[in-house]
Structure formats: C-alpha cells, structure tokens
Structure 1
Amino acid sequence: MATKRWIRRPEGSTWGDWGEDDERGRANLLTPEAVLRGIHEVREGRTFCLSLPLDYPGGNALNPRRGPPVLRPTERDGKPFMNYPLRCDDPTATDVASDDQVVLALQYSTQWDTFAHVGQMFDVDGDGKLEDVYYNGFRANQDVVGPVVYAEDGTSTPTAAHRGALHLGVENIATACMQGRGVMVDLFAHYGRSGQLIGYDELMRVIEADEISIHPGDFVLFRTEFGRALLEMHRQPDTGKLFSTTSALDGRDPKLLQWVTDCGAVALVADNYAVEALPARPCTSDHCARLPLHEHCLFKLGCYLGELWYLSELADWLRENKRTSFLLTAPPLRLPGAVGSPLTPIATV
C-alpha cells in the first residue's frame, strides 16, 4: 500500500494544493482562460525569438560543469553521414543526405529549470530527521535517481544506474505546453548597467512606473541586458563584467519572496544566469539555502525558473510601443527524466 510522501510541508508552500501526486505545480494555472488571456495580447502578429544561440555563453566560465554543445555527424558503416551520397548504396540514387547528433548540457544556454533541479533538506515525516527532498515531497534516490547516493558527510556510494527524474522531470511541463500571457519587467530601462540588486522595493518602483499588471497564471520576465552582453562577448564571457553590470533578484529579501507567492506567476524568467543574484547575500541563520529564490520557487511554490533567455529585442519593442505584455509560447524538450531543458521560446505581440 502506498504511503503519503510527506506529513509536514514547508511553511508557505503549495505542496498538495493540486493533489498529493502533483508534478506540475503552478503550470496547473495554465487554464484555457489563462492561455486566452495571452492570445488576446496578440495585435500585430509579430514574433520574437527569445533564445540565445545554444552554443552561448561559450566555454565553461559561467559553470565549470557545463560545456558547449558538441555537434557531429551520425555514422553509416563507419563513415560520417554528412553529404553522404546514397549512390554508395544504390548506384541509381541521386540523393545526397546529411544527419547529425549532439552532446548537449541541457542547462548550458537558454533553459527551463524543473522542480527536480533543486531540492532541500527538510523534515517531511515530522520525525526530526532531515531528508533530501524535492517539490511535493518527492525523494532523492527514489524519485530522482542518479548514479551515486550521497551520505550526510558527502561520501558517495555507486548505484546500479543513472535513471534521472522518475518524477518531476521536464516532460511534465512539455505536456503542459507552457503557453500563456507573458509580462516584461524591464529592469534595464530603470537601472541600466548598474548591477543593482533587485529587492521588493526596487521591483515595485519598476512595476508602478511602467503600470505593469500581473495575473495568476502569467509568466513574468525580467530584462537585465545580461543576454545582449553575452552576445557582445562572442563566446568569450567576462564573468566579472557580466555579473557586476547587470541586475538580479535578491533571493534573501522576504518581501520579494512574499511577492512571488502572492503574484501567482507560473514562472519567473530572466536573461541572466540564475534569475537571482549569485552569490546570495549572506545568510543570517545557521543553515539556509545557497539559492534562496530557487528554494522558494522550485522547492516550495512549484514556480518554474527560466534562465539565460534573450529578451532585449522584445523588451525594446514593447517599450517603444508602450506595452508590457504579449503571448509567450515556451515548451521545453519532451525528454523524460531530464531535470532541465533547452528551449526556443517565442513571443508574439
């Protein structure tokens, strides 16, 4: 007989709000009414690509674990299948064909974070024992299974095989389609390349000045100009310059976190590296999350995070036309078991 995954849920979380077995979180807010609200924003029929080229940022300076994609041909009889003349197999054939494959870090460039991307240590059973868990109480090593099991002291024991996210994988948001009303918060227009840390007060100044309205079920996008700066660096990112001159959300600001709770956004999206500032401001407790906005969104609320999107051209057009909202279409790869995914989001205005 199956047992409930959790007895206690984190304070302020949405665990169980959409059912004990829910894996979609706030994607459940993408109702037909929410999608239609996005469609009603289409007036010009103009589209914008919101993805960086997937070989950006370049190198692995932003994250040593993630390297750029490796693109290469498939093979046929030991030969590269690129400009392959089918007459090699059939003298009567006139075709020339190419076929390729890629080794790709799924969160190297423009990406979605799933709920299996960041979990926390939390006492889900109410027995005083902290366990490694993810959104809605799904467990590390049971529901998200890697090639090793890590002990409390950091030592590891190999498992039989890497199985990935058996629950909370990216396929859940692929089938949710991730389409609805997008709202642009243009931080760059107000704070420029100052590197301003954005807490609740700074955010409210922008929202009030630009008369931005946000509804539950919307996608909220933050333009900092990080994406355009990356493109200007031509795959040789200067991390010092990138992080010191572009804004990011203050994940340690409790008023900002409460705003994320109250606004009902399906996802927070930014053109920067992590949506929130890295490193976060120092923790005032003995133990706390190093990624506090990730904890609040992915672990507690079931609110998705999108990172390294390209927002500059869309944001410029919206400002020139005195608009802040549009239709966003942003499904990830339907790749079962993945904890993140590249995507090519589209804005339609």
Structure 2
Amino acid sequence: MSEQRVASPRTFPTAGEAAFREKVRGLRRWGRWGEDDQRGAVNLVTPEKVREAAGLVRLGLPVSLSRAFPVAPAANNPNPAEHYLRRRVRGEHGEGSVTDYAGVNCHGKATTHLDALCHVWNHDGMWNGRDAAEVVTGDGVTFGGIEQFADGITTRGVLLDVPAFRGASFVEWERQVTGEELDAVARAAGVEVRPGDALVIHSGREAWDRAHPRPWGAPDPDGVYRLPGLHASCLDYFHDSDCGVVVWDMMDAVPNEYGVPHCTHAAIFALGLPLLDNALIEPLAQVCRRESRTDFMLTVAPLPIAGGTGSPVNPIAIL
C-alpha cells in the first residue's frame, strides 16, 4: 500500500481509528498456529485441500489472473516496471542470444502481486504481534517474508462475482462491498465457502476502467482518492469463512468510516491472511458464467525473495 491523500473526514462520516483498532483486536488470530508462525491462513491449505482442488479440474482449461507487466506509466502506476533487453551476436554466422533485465515495484495498484504477512501493521504490531521496528531491516524483513510461501499456494478457488449478483457492470464508490453482501453472493450462487479456500472477489475493475476516464486506483483530478472496493465488514467475513487467501481486483474502499489508510488490508496482520492484489478477474468471471462454474483449482507461485514483502505473481485458475 502506498501513501495516498484520501477524502476529508468532513465529507465522509468517521468512527475513528481507536474504534478500528478495537474491531481488529476482536478478530485477530495471533497464536492460532503458534507464536512463531509465519504462514498464517495458508496453514489451512492442507494436502487434503490440494487434492480437493485437483479434483475440480474437469475441462483442463487454464485462465491467467495476472495483469500485464506494468511497464507503461499511468495515473495508477506512477512507478512503472522496468524491462530491458540485451542482444548479443557471436561469430561470423550471426549466432546470438538475447537476455532480459526486469525491475518492478511489488506493491501499488498496477502489479498483480501477493502480499507477505509483514507487509502492513498497526499500533499493536505485525502478524503474531511482531514489532515492525525489530522485523524490518535494510536487508529485508526477518519475519513473515514472502519466502514463507515458496512452495506456492494451490487450493480451491471460489468466485464471488459481485457485479453479476448486483446486475451491474462494476462496483460503485457510493456502494461498497460489505461482508454481508459477500455472504449473500455465495449463497445466491449456491457455493459453500470452506476453510482454506481462495476467495476470488470480482468487483468489475475492467468494466469500471472502460466507463471512466481515469483507471481504478488513480486519484481524482483534485488529487484525492475515492476508490470503490471492499468495506471494513469484509474482515468479519474473511474471519468467519476461514479462507486461506483473498484474490481481488478492487481492494480497500477509500475513504472508510474509520479514517485509517488501509482497512481491509488489516486482514494481513490481524488474520494472517495473504492478499493477492490487482488480479485480472474479468476473463475468469466470463468463463465461469459460460460454464456455470463457481469453483476451480487455483495456483499462486510467488518468487522466493528472502526477506521480501511481496512478489509479482501469475495466478492460474484451472477449470
């Protein structure tokens, strides 16, 4: 998450940061898998869960949930990725090779990436109560880094298609996605969300971009962020559903009634729940509608960056 100027509390009711801290304390799962645990909700992705996911492959159809490597500057991509090529020609017959250099900001609102459990925290601490002042070093984090997921995450994915449920094209800022609505979406689709599942939450980011002059994740012309997305009550749904990872296209709704910079991102340090940000979900939603499917096998493979706070990923849903 990057620093951003949000709408003034004068134009949005606020319950205050202290109320949010109390809410988070009531939900957090510190110590559930031991005081030294660094994998959090991914512990729910058991071998039995992987076998369950593999049994969902019927068509043999893979669908990528990754956006293109974000090399183009944009209003929601102020630090574009770098990609350079170097060509080498050897010998008199023109043999040669070409190599790449790639550099990318692992966070923000353009790169499809997986957040590590060290990524965000509040006054009470990181995941499992760790002190950020002790964990974050110039050479990387010493607790909760992205390398904890080096074996990848393979589990049952469940699509929660909010625009389809609403009969709309995309989520509007004036109507944030609530935890109660996510539950209603699942019940309307006739799908049971089970522990260790990956919740793939479609809010219609591509349709939103087509309907607006500025891409989702960009500030308004006055420099203020007003972003449609998920309400703080989704934290309760994540907690109660016992999901193993959340995959989403729109993220925290901004602003929020608590006046905090990140609201649903608190799932990381409170629930030990890794978040897969900026997913490209529209193609999967289209396939699921065509095939009358709501669940599938999902694989996520982050780079094992030692001490890293996140990693670009190319999530693959397999139907």
Q: Provide the TM-score with structure 1 as the length reference.
A: 0.75
- Which residue identity is paired with 1:321? E
Q: 2-side partners of 1:281 and 1:63: how far apart?
A: 26
Q: For 2:69, what is the secondary structure of its paired residue?
A: coil
Q: 2-side partners of 1:227 and 1:248: how far apart?
A: 13
Work out which structure has the larger RCO, using CA pairs closer than 8 Å and 6 or more positions apart in sequence.
2
Q: For 1:291, what is the secondary structure of its paired residue?
A: coil
Q: Which of residues 261, 274, 278 is equivalent to 1:290?
A: 261
Q: Which of residues 80, 98, 102 is equivalent to 1:68?
A: 80
Q: CA deviation at 1:342?
A: 0.7
Q: 2-side partners of 1:172 and 1:45: how far apart?
A: 29
Q: Is the 8 A contact 1:227 1:309 kept in 2?
A: no
Q: Is the 8 A contact 2:226 2:255 kept in 1?
A: no
Q: CA deviation at 1:204?
A: 2.9
> What are the equivalent positions in structure 2 for 1:169-248 lying under 5 Å apart?
169-175=145-151, 177-191=152-166, 192=168, 193-195=170-172, 196-227=175-206, 229-230=208-209, 237=215, 239=218, 247-248=228-229
Q: CA deviation at 1:247?
A: 5.0
Highest Rg: 1 or 2?
1
Q: Is the 8 A contact 1:68 1:104 kept in 2?
A: yes
Q: How many residues align?
A: 286
Q: Which residue of 2 aligns with 1:34?
A: 49
1:118 aligned to 2:130?
Answer: no
Q: 2-side partners of 1:55 and 1:276: how far apart?
A: 21
- Which residue identity is paired with 1:139? D
Q: Judging changes above 3 Å, is the alpha-carbon distance between structure 1 residues 114 and 228 closer, same or farther for their aligned structure 2 residues?
A: farther
Q: Judging changes above 3 Å, is the alpha-carbon distance between structure 1 residues 212 and 227 closer, same or farther for their aligned structure 2 residues?
A: same
Q: Judging changes above 3 Å, is the alpha-carbon distance between structure 1 residues 281 and 12 closer, same or farther for their aligned structure 2 residues?
A: closer
Q: Provide the TM-score with structure 2 as the length reference.
A: 0.82
Q: Which of residues 6, 23, 29 is equivalent to 2:38?
A: 23
Q: Is the 8 A contact 1:224 1:246 kept in 2?
A: no
Q: CA deviation at 1:38?
A: 0.8
Q: Judging changes above 3 Å, is the alpha-carbon distance between structure 1 residues 245 and 140 closer, same or farther for their aligned structure 2 residues?
A: closer
Q: CA RMSD in A?
A: 2.7
- Which residue identity is paired with 2:112? T
Identity %: 28
Q: Is the 8 A contact 2:227 2:254 kept in 1?
A: no
Q: Deviations over 1:28-62 (max 9, x none)?
A: 11111111111111111011011010117x42522
Q: Is the 8 A contact 2:231 2:256 kept in 1?
A: yes
Q: Judging changes above 3 Å, is the alpha-carbon distance between structure 1 residues 292 and 44 closer, same or farther for their aligned structure 2 residues?
A: same
Q: Judging changes above 3 Å, is the alpha-carbon distance between structure 1 residues 335 and 97 closer, same or farther for their aligned structure 2 residues?
A: same
Q: Which residue of 2 aligns with 1:166?
A: 142
Q: 2-side partners of 1:245 and 1:278: how far apart?
A: 5
1:97 aligned to 2:97?
Answer: yes
Q: Deviations over 1:125-170 (max 9, x none)?
A: xxxxxxxx3101222232122xxxxxxxxxxxxxxxx212121111
Q: Judging changes above 3 Å, is the alpha-carbon distance between structure 1 residues 60 and 137 closer, same or farther for their aligned structure 2 residues?
A: farther
Q: Which runs of 5+ in 1 are unaligned?
A: 1-8, 74-80, 123-132, 146-161, 284-288
Q: Deviations over 1:258-308 (max 9, x none)?
A: 221110101111112xx221222344xxxxx4312112x111110111111
Q: CA deviation at 1:246?
A: 8.2
Q: Judging changes above 3 Å, is the alpha-carbon distance between structure 1 residues 112 and 210 closer, same or farther for their aligned structure 2 residues?
A: same
Q: 2-side partners of 1:245 and 1:189: how far apart?
A: 23
Q: 2-side partners of 1:237 and 1:121: how far apart?
A: 32
Q: 2-side partners of 1:244 and 1:166: how far apart?
A: 33
Q: Judging changes above 3 Å, is the alpha-carbon distance between structure 1 residues 205 and 10 closer, same or farther for their aligned structure 2 residues?
A: closer
Q: For 1:249, what is the secondary structure of its paired residue?
A: coil
Q: Which runs of 5+ in 2 are unaligned?
A: 1-23
